[in-house]
Amino acid sequence: MNKKRIYVMENLSPETIAVTFAKTSRSPEPFDEIAKGLTEEKSSKFNEKWIIGYGHSSVAEHATLSIAIENVSRIAGEVIESSRLASFTEKSTRYQKIDKENFFIPGNIQSEDFLKDYMNICNDLVDLYSISYERINSYFGNALNDVKKAKHIALDNARYLLPLSTLTNIGVTANARVMEHMVSKMLSSNIKEVEEIGIELKREALKRIPTLIKYASKNDFIKKQNDLDKYICNASPSEIPVFREQSLPVPALLYGDFEKIDLLNKILYYAHDNRCFDDIVPDPMLDFIEKNMESHDELPRETEHLAFTFELLIDESVYYELKRHRMCTLSSQPHNIMNGFYIPEIFYTLSLQNEVMNIIDRVKEFYIKYQHDNINVIYALPNLTMRRVLLSSNLRELRHIYRLRNADNAHFAIRYLVKKIKEVLVSKNRSIETILNS
């Protein structure tokens, strides 16, 4: 009688684990016995033949790596974390104070004037960040009599002044298939720092998965897409808007499966019935969900059949929160100043708005002066900068986003955004309110 066994595969290289699991499709032996017959050389030959030669790429998903990436810019971090199927944890500017001169300086700067102006902008942004942090921390320290909470609020607001050149650390865990695509995408970047990180990332990954990633290279199709990016600002400085919370644009709903809301009971019941869709007479499944779901439960997968698309105008800090939701699809326009800047209300409360407006004017001047010569102008943009983003999400993920980003400890600007998204959806169909709040 065969006895059930569940065990961890230990002391094996990632490539050997991948081969061990691959061989089970044609071998009756237990996994640990298969592994005993493998060497690094045999595993490499197997991967070369079957994964690379015959394209059985799913096998490479069993070979995983965890790689530490330190002291790269927020610009680079965005590209690194755009790989949907990898796992990331990043240094948070919401909980850590950033030191002076803790920002990236591009190595391919040719102009001394550009370098001088770049350093002045980044240093002055970080200086104003430090001043704002102290003022906000002091204000809320007195108002709340809670040192920890005051510090958190101060960091969450002051970080709007940090440039996108701010250095960050990112922990990455990915399988070899994802890692290959990640490296290829980075090698195809039109940003020099990102390309250089791709080269180093491949070099480090080759030490653990020498066969599965060795053919990762620049992809001409991705490179040509990146070359389409438009960084030029055609607006005059006076035409570039500055937003306060009350003047922020409402999320624009471009598409919604509202007709499916009426079918939702049927869709939800489908997975529990044995009739064709048209013949199902469902139980009131929305009532079932409302009565039985706990706060930690997820909506049934069937709610993924309903999709919604929004166009958003959001600041860099909000985008950095939103991009972590990799189950939805985000398409962000390139970094630019044309969409304007957002100043949080606390800067007006503490009479810091003039200092912030002055640094915004200097960022505009710097960007417009150098935009034709150097893509590196984007590193000097602060988190105050606005971006246009397309967000497509199914109903299940929308509920997850709403509940997580509407929590009391969520970033205040993304909390404002998800409330507006909810208002737009509920105005179209009130049933969505029940689903999002369930």
Among the listed ranges 45-49, 275-279, 337-341, which one has the minimum average pLDDT value?
A: 45-49
The whole-angstrom separation of Cα 230 and Cα 235 is 13
The whole-angstrom separation of Cα 171 and Cα 74 is 14
With respect to residue 47, please indicate whether it lies within any of the assigned structural domains. yes
Indicate the average pLDDT of the chain: 92
With respect to residue 69, please indicate whether it lies within any of the assigned structural domains. no
For residue 396, what are its two tokens? 């299940």
The answer on pLDDT for 196 being more than 60 is yes
The whole-angstrom separation of Cα 326 and Cα 324 is 6
- For residue 414, the surrounding DSSP H or E stretch is helix 412-428
With respect to residue 21, please indicate whether it lies within any of the assigned structural domains. yes
For residue 398, what are its two tokens? 């929308």
**Bigger pLDDT: 176 vs 1:** 176
Q: What is the pLDDT of residue 55?
A: 57
| pLDDT band, very low/low/confident/very high, at 222 (cuts 50, 70, 90) | very high
Q: Which of 363, 401, 421 is nearest to 164 (CA)?
A: 363
pLDDT, tens digit, for every residue of 87-130?
999 999 999 999 888 999 998 888 999 999 999 999 999 999 99
**Rg of the chain in Å (alpha carbons):** 25
With respect to residue 52, please indicate whether it lies within any of the assigned structural domains. yes
Q: Which of 73, 69, 68, 67 is nearest to 107 (CA)?
A: 73
With respect to residue 37, please indicate whether it lies within any of the assigned structural domains. yes
| pLDDT band, very low/low/confident/very high, at 26 (cuts 50, 70, 90) | confident
**Do the beta carbons of residue 370 and residue 114 sit within 8 Å?**
yes
**Do the beta carbons of residue 155 and residue 97 sit within 8 Å?**
yes
Q: What is the pLDDT of residue 1?
A: 57
Q: What is the mean pLDDT of residues 149-159?
A: 96
Structural domain tally of the chain? 1
Q: In what order do the strands lie in the sheet with 167-175?
A: 64-73, 167-175, 87-90
Q: What is the pLDDT of residue 210?
A: 86
The whole-angstrom separation of Cα 256 and Cα 383 is 30
Q: What is the mean pLDDT of residues 270-295?
A: 87
**Bigger pLDDT: 19 vs 46:** 19
For residue 408, what are its two tokens? 């009391």
With respect to residue 197, please indicate whether it lies within any of the assigned structural domains. no
With respect to residue 322, please indicate whether it lies within any of the assigned structural domains. no
Domain that holds residue 41: 14-62
With respect to residue 294, please indicate whether it lies within any of the assigned structural domains. no
**Do the beta carbons of residue 221 and residue 185 sit within 8 Å?**
no
- What backbone phi and psi angles, to 5 degrees, belong to 314? -135, 160
Q: What is the pLDDT of residue 47?
A: 65
Q: What is the pLDDT of residue 211?
A: 84
The whole-angstrom separation of Cα 126 and Cα 209 is 40
For residue 393, what are its two tokens? 């999400």
Q: What is the mean pLDDT of residues 159-180?
A: 95
| pLDDT band, very low/low/confident/very high, at 406 (cuts 50, 70, 90) | very high
Q: What is the mean pLDDT of residues 306-323?
A: 96
C-alpha pair distances (Å), 245 with each of 233, 332, 343, 346, 434: 24, 21, 8, 11, 27
